[in-house]
Structure 1
Amino acid sequence: MMKTFGVGAAMLAVGFGAGLAFAQAQAPTGRTPQFANDEVKVWKSLIQPGNPLPLHRHDHPRIIIALKGGTMHILEETGPAADKSDIQTWESGKAYWLPANPKTQHQDVNIGKEPIEVMVVELQKAW
C-alpha cells in the first residue's frame, strides 16, 4: 500500500509541476505589483513572445532582474526608426540598470520564442 501511495504521489507531483509550467507558459503578458512605498515601486513583468506590454513610460530610473531572460525590442511610440528603438538582451539571473525616460512612451516586445520574466525595482525619488 505504501509503495502504491509513493508512486501515486510522485505522479501527482510530476503532473502538478507540468501543470504549473503550462500555466506559466500560458500566462498573459502583464505586470504584477509586488511592493511599493515612498522610495521604490516593485513589480514583476511577464512578456510573452509576440504579445508586447502596452505603451508606457518610466518617470524614474529602475533596476531589472531577469528571472527568465531573453531579447527585448524596445520601441518608442514614434515607430521602429533606428534611432527610436533599442534591442536589449537580458541574461537570466543578472541585474540591469535602466534610466528614466519620462518624455516618451515605449512598448516592450519580446522577440524571442520563450517568455521573458523580470522583476523591476523603480526608484521613486532622486538619491
Structure 2
Amino acid sequence: MAGVGSEKVFENDKVIVWNFVLAPGEETPVHTHTLSYMWYAIEGAPLHIFDENGGDLGIFDVPTGAIYSLKCENGYLEVLSEIGKGAKVPATHKARNEGSKPYREVLVEYKEQCA
C-alpha cells in the first residue's frame, strides 16, 4: 500500500485519485489521512477498523456501489454521506477485510489540508 491506497492513478492541483484493493483477511498498514476524501466501493466488504495502537473500533460494513464522503478535521474523519453519517474514526488507523472476496474501491482525496 502506498499512502492511502494501493496505487495512485491520477493527480492534479485539486485531487489525488487512488485505486485500493484489499484481499480477504488482508490488513492495511497503519496510515494517516491528512486530506478530506470520498470513495466509491466497486466491490464492498465488511472492514474491521483499528486505531494506531490496535484498539478495536468496530466493523464498518461497506456495500458494493456505496459512495462515502469524509471530512478530515482535528485528527478525525467524520462520515458526511448518508451511509454511516456522523460516524467518526481517528485519521490514523488501519483496516482489515473481513469478507470472503477482495474489497475494491476508488478513493479521491481533495487537496485541502486536514484542519
TM-score tier (shorter)? 0.7 to 0.9
Identical aligned pairs, as a percentage? Answer: 30
After superposition, where does 1:1-127 map in structure 2 within 5 Å? 31-81=6-56, 85-100=57-72, 103=75, 104-125=91-112
Name the count of aligned residue pairs: 94
- The amino acid across from 1:105 in the alignment is T
What's the secondary structure of 2:60's corresponding residue? strand
By how many angstroms is 1:80 displaced?
2.2
Residue 116 and residue 33 in structure 1: after superposition, are their counterparts in 2 closer, same or farther (change >3 A)? same
Aligned residues: CA RMSD: 1.9
Higher strand proportion (structure 1 or 2): 2
Instruction: Go from structure 1 to structure 2 and tell me whether the alpha carbon gap of 1:72 and 1:39 turns closer, same or farther (over 3 Å shift).
Output: same
* TM-score normalised by the chain length of structure 1: 0.66
Q: What does the per-residue CA deviation read over 1:23-77, in whole Å, with 9 as the maximum and x for residues that have no partner? A: xxxxxxx601111112111101000122111110101111010000111111111
Q: Which has the larger radius of gyration?
A: 1
Q: Give the number of the structure whose residues are more often helix, by fraction.
A: 1
CA contact (8 A) 1:57 1:101 kept: no
- Per-residue deviation, 1:90: 1.3
Unaligned ranges ≥5, structure 1? 1-29
Q: Within 2, Cα distance between the matches of 1:106 and 1:70? A: 18
Q: Which has the higher contact order (CA 8 A, sep 6+)?
A: 2
Q: CA deviation at 1:79?
A: 2.2
Residues in 1 aligned to 2:73 and 2:48: alpha-carbon distance in whole angstroms: 16
Give yes or no for contact 1:76–1:105 (8 Å, CA) kept in 2: yes
Distance 1:124 1:102 in 2: 16
